Amino acid sequence: MPNYLIQRLLILGGLSIIGILFMQSYWLLKTWDIKDKEFDQSVNIVLRNVAQRMARYNGSILPKTGLIQRRSSNYYAVNINSAIDPAILEQYLIQEFSNQAMNIDFEYAVYDCFSDDLVYGNYCSAENNTLNQLKDSKKKLPKFDDLVYYFVVRFPSRESFLLANMKMTITFTSLSILAIIFFVYSMWVILTQKRLSELQKDFINNMTHEFKTPLSSVKIAADVLANDEEIKKNKRLHRYTQIIREQNQRLNDQVEKVLNIARLEKDSIELKKDIIELNQTLNEIVTNEALKLPDDHIHFQTWHQPVFVMADKLHFVNVITNMIDNAIKYSPNNPEVKIILEEKDAIFVHIKDNGIGIDKESQKKLFDKFYRVSTGDVHNVKGFGLGLYYVKNICAAHGWNIQVQSEPGKGTTFSIVIPKQLKI
C-alpha cells in the first residue's frame, strides 16, 4: 500500500475515532441526564403522594411551595408541616415506590424538634421490599435548619439504578469501543507489516546492488579469458570459460529482474516513451532470443503494415523477453514459440508456446508478486515469481492490457492488447 494512502487512512481513521468518541460521550451524558430527570420526576411523584397521604392522615394542610426539595443528587427533604409517625411514613413510602414500579433502595429519617435532630428511620431494600430491620441509630443524615416538620429520603444506590436503566446505551458504547480497539489494532498491524516489508525491500535492493559490481568484474574477466588465443585452442578450458560467461549472464539477469521490481515499487513508474515500430522492435528481440534455442524454434509472424506505438523501449523489450523466456522455460519438450503481431480492433502481441500450460485456478493469480504455479514433480524450473508481476505493472503503466489463454498440457498464449487510441 503506498505511503500517501496509509497516511490518508490514518488521518481519516483518527478523525472518525475522535468523532465516534465525541458522539458516544455526548450520547452517554445526554442519556444519563434524561434518566436522572426521569428519576427525579418519579421520586417527586412518590414523595408528593406520600406527603398528601400523611397530610390526610394528620388532617393537616401541606405548604403551597417548597414541599419537596432536592438537596443533593440523591437526597430529598419533604416539608410536610405536621407531626410525622415514622411507622406510617415507612409504610406509605414502600407502597408508593412500589406503585411507581421504582425498585430502588432508600433510607429515610424524620426530624425530631425536641431533640433537634434527624432520627434515622430505616433502610428499605428494593430486593425483597421488606424492612431491613438493622436500624443503625448512629447513622447520620444531614439536617436542615430552615425546615421544621420534615422527613428526608436518601437513595444510596442511585448511580447503579440509573446505570441499570441505560443498558442499551452502555451496550452500544461498549460495541463502539470494541470497534475502535479493533481499528487501532488493525492499523498497528498494517504499519508493522509495512515497516517489515520496507526493511525487506531495502535489504533485497541493497543486496542485489552489491552483487552488480562483482558480476561485472567476473564478466570482464570471463570475456578476456574467452578471447584469449591459448584458451581458444584448449577445448576444455574454452568450454569452462563459456560456462562462466553463461552462468554469469544468468545471475546478472536474475539480479536485474529483482532490481527492476525494486525500482518499480520505489516510486510510481516513470516511463521514457518513444515512438517504436513493433515489427522492427519485435524482430530484434526475437533474433536475440533465438540464440537461446538451438535450431529454428522461435517464429515471428509480422504484420503486413508498420505499427507505431508510444512505449518505453527498454521496458517493452524486458516485457517481451520475459514472456519469451517463460515460454521456453515452461516448454520442456521441443519448444515451439510463436510471436504474432496483428492489428484488428486493437493491436495484439501474442506470445504462444506449446508448453505445460496453466490451469484455470492458477491463471487468476499468475500476475501476483512472488506467485509460482505449484507443479509438484512435473517440472523443476527455478524462478522468483516476479517476471509476470513486472510485465503486468509495465503494461498497466502504458495503459495496455495483458491476457492469458492456456490449457494444461497443450500450451499457453499471453497477449498484450494495446488500445487503438494509443497508436501513433
150-154 vs 75-79, strand pairing mode: antiparallel
**Amino acid making up residue 7:** Q
387 binds ligand ADP (CB under 6 A): yes
- β-sheet bridge partners, residue 211: none
What CA–CA distance (Å, rounded) separates 297 from 335?
7
Restricting to residues 95-124, name those near ligand ADP by CB under 6 A.
none
Does residue 408 belong to the site contacting ligand ADP (CB under 6 A)? Answer: no
**Shortest distance, position 365 Cβ to ligand ADP, whole Å:** 9
Task: Decide: helix, strand or coil at residue 29.
Answer: helix
Kindly state the smallest distance separating residue 212's Cβ from ligand ADP, in Å.
20
| Sole binder of ligand ADP in the list 358, 394, 395, 402 (CB under 6 A) | 358
Binding residue for ligand ADP, selected from 162, 355, 394, 416, defined by CB under 6 A: 355
Greatest extent of the chain over all pairs of C-alpha atoms, in Å: 138
> Helix (H) and strand (E) counts for the chain?
10, 13
Smallest distance, ligand ADP to C-beta of residue 230, A: 38
Query: Considering the complex, what minimum distance in angstroms separates the CB of residue 302 from ligand ADP?
Result: 22
Nearest CA to 310 out of 270, 346, 274, 347 is that of 274
Q: Which stretch binds ligand ADP (CB under 6 A): 73-81, 233-241, 286-294, 323-331?
A: 323-331
Q: Name the strand (E) or helix (H) holding 411.
A: strand 411-419
Among 372, 405, 419, 422, binds ligand ADP (CB under 6 A): 372
Q: Which of 51, 276, 307, 373 binds ligand ADP (CB under 6 A)?
A: 373
Residue 215 has a CB neighbour count (10 Å cut-off) of 17
**Dihedral pair phi/psi, residue 386, rounded to 5°:** -110, -20
- Which residue, 15 or 378, has its beta carbon nearer to ligand ADP? 378
Q: Which helix (H) or strand (E) holds 77?
A: strand 75-79
CB of 154 or CB of 350, closer to ligand ADP: 350
Q: Where are the alpha helices (DSSP H) in 72-166?
A: 86-99, 158-164
Q: Whose Cβ is closer to ligand ADP: residue 79's or residue 354's?
A: 354
Minimal distance, residue 329 CB to ligand ADP, in Å: 6
172 binds ligand ADP (CB under 6 A): no
Helix, strand or coil for residue 373?
Answer: coil
> Cβ of residue 293: shortest distance to ligand ADP, in angstroms?
14
Q: Is 386 near ligand ADP (CB under 6 A)?
A: yes
Asked if residue 149 binds ligand ADP (CB under 6 A), the reply is no
> Cα-Cα-Cα-Cα dihedral of 95, 99, 101, 104, to 10°?
-20
Q: Shortest distance, CB of residue 195 to ligand ADP, whole angstroms?
A: 26
* Residue in 124, 388, 395, 418 binding ligand ADP, rule: CB under 6 A: 388
- Select the residue whose beta carbon is closest to ligand ADP and give its number: 383
Candidates 64-72, 152-160, 274-282, 377-385: pick the segment binding ligand ADP (CB under 6 A): 377-385
Q: Please state, in angstroms and rounded to a whole number, the distance separating the CA atoms of residues 177 and 196.
A: 28
- In this structure, how many other beta carbons lie within 10 angstroms of the beta carbon of residue 286? 19
Please name the residue that has the C-alpha cell 515460454: 327
The nearest distance, CB 383 to ligand ADP, in angstroms, is 2
Closest approach, Cβ 334 to ligand ADP, in A, equals 15
DSSP 8-state class, residue 277: E
Query: Of 97 and 389, which CB lies nearer to ligand ADP in the complex structure?
Result: 389
User: Which amino acid appears at position 421 of this protein?
Assistant: Q
Give, in order, the Cα–Cα distances in Å from 404 to each of 39, 285, 380, 386.
72, 21, 22, 16
Please give the single-letter amino acid code of residue 211. F
Least Å distance between CB 390 and ligand ADP?
A: 8
Nearest to ligand ADP of 388, 418 (CB atom): 388
Residue 286 CA to its chain's centroid (Å): 45
- CA 111 to chain centroid: 64
Q: Residue from 7, 247, 384, 420 that binds ligand ADP (CB under 6 A)?
A: 384
Given a contact cutoff of 8 angstroms between Cβ atoms, the answer to whether 330 and 336 are in contact is no
- Distance in Å, CB of 205 to ligand ADP, minimum: 18
Count of residues interacting with ligand ADP (CB under 6 A): 19
- Return residues touching ligand ADP (CB under 6 A): 326-327, 330, 353, 355-356, 358, 366, 371-373, 383-389, 412
